[in-house]
Amino acid sequence: MWVAPGRVNIIGEHTDYNDGFVLPIALPLVMECRAGVRADTKVRVVSAQRPDEPVLVEVADLVAQRDRVPGWSRYPLGVVAEFVRRGHAVGGVELELDGAVPIGAGLSSSAALSCAVAIALRDLFAPTVTDRELIEFARAAENDYVGAPTGLLDQSASILCTAGHALFLDVRRFVEDGVDADVNTGAHEQIPFDLARFGLELLVIDTGQPHEHVDGGYAERRAQCEAAAAELGVAALRDVDSVAALDRIADEVLRRRARHVVTENARVLTVAQRLRDGADPRAVGPILTAGHASLRDDFEVSTPALDAAVDAAIAAGAHGARMVGGGFGGSVIALIDRAQTDAVVAAVRNRFADAGFAEPRTFVVGPAAGAHRAD
């Protein structure tokens, strides 16, 4: 069995596909892949969540059959197809999937699933594949086989994160420099993130409103960012070093989209430096809240339920709170004193009840290990 974790970003949403900076942690919640070699040349996939929908496809027919297999199965099958496309001799394989990462909660369940399958296939068929290549395989599977226009963040977090640390990732350098993902470089760095030492916890609030990357909203934001960069004459919004430079963008919507990315990159760099310096994490709380305001107002990917969770957590004493993931639903994180956990949870639930929202799911998380073989 191989496992890969979901993730939450401490800070850094919608910056990865703009060649920017991100700061995720891996969750203690994982997707599981039990895998074994078959005697034939078929891939069989079965999910504990869909026990009545096993899928059986010839390895050689994976591309031709893409539109005929159920949508959920395209994530694992896409990873197999990507190994084959890149010249690895993958034979018949049995894939049994299960996991605890909530689906549609903005916690990267799909990337965790893809990465669990990828690491299993590497161990079974292609042991020389590097971690960096695994990240590319998993992302390409989601982009090309599933049709989800994700960036590099989710897969990098699932593969590279380590227990007790946040992962600082400079996406452009990581991609362009071809750095080795198995060692720390300027492109990626493990930064200690010990909340317990300061009496803190990170609370995840799952609103129960699922989001999907395979929809118009996420792709539209990517296109708007690309249009803003083109208008400014830069390769990506990562190259814009001040908000004042955005005045050259004529369209007000594109200007706001770009403003989120520019200010969010700055927030990532500030939070990463404060954590490197060993500062009390309470100091980054207001930066998290500012990130939510930017996602809500400039990037317009929040929802009334996400806003209610943030507002209720802050009112109940959280040091900072913000939505996580691509938006349009999903989850919120709140940085809280351990002694205030029950009070914050109660406040959020009361706010949801008053607003007529379904009761949210809440759980405390800490930085966990990345993908690995579990038995």
What are the angstrom distances between the C-alpha of 49 and each of 31, 53, 79? 12, 9, 19
Residue 20, burial from CB neighbour count under 10 angstroms (0-12, 13-18, 19+): buried
Token digits of residue 300: 């317009």
Lowest mean pLDDT among 174-178, 285-289, 322-326: 174-178
Q: What pLDDT shows up at residue 205?
A: 97
Q: What pLDDT shows up at residue 12?
A: 97
Kindly provide the b/e burial profile for residues 91-106, where b requires at least 16 CB atoms within 10 angstroms of the residue's own CB.
Answer: eebebbbbbebbebbb
Give the residue numbers annotated as catalytic, written as ranges: 154
The dihedrals phi and psi of 92, each to the nearest 5 degrees, come to -65, 145
pLDDT at 185 over 90: no
Q: Are 65 and 38 in contact (CB under 8 A)?
A: no
Residue among 351, 315, 313, 352 at smallest CA distance from 335: 313
Domain boundaries, the chain: 2-193+369-373, 196-365
pLDDT at 148 over 80: yes
Q: 196-365: what CATH class?
A: alpha beta
Q: Are 341 and 203 in contact (CB under 8 A)?
A: yes
Q: Does domain 2-193+369-373 have CATH number 3.10.129.10?
A: no
Q: What pLDDT shows up at residue 262?
A: 98
pLDDT above 70 covers what percent of the chain? Answer: 96
pLDDT at 149 over 90: no
pLDDT at 213 over 60: no
The predicted model gives 132-144 an average pLDDT of: 94
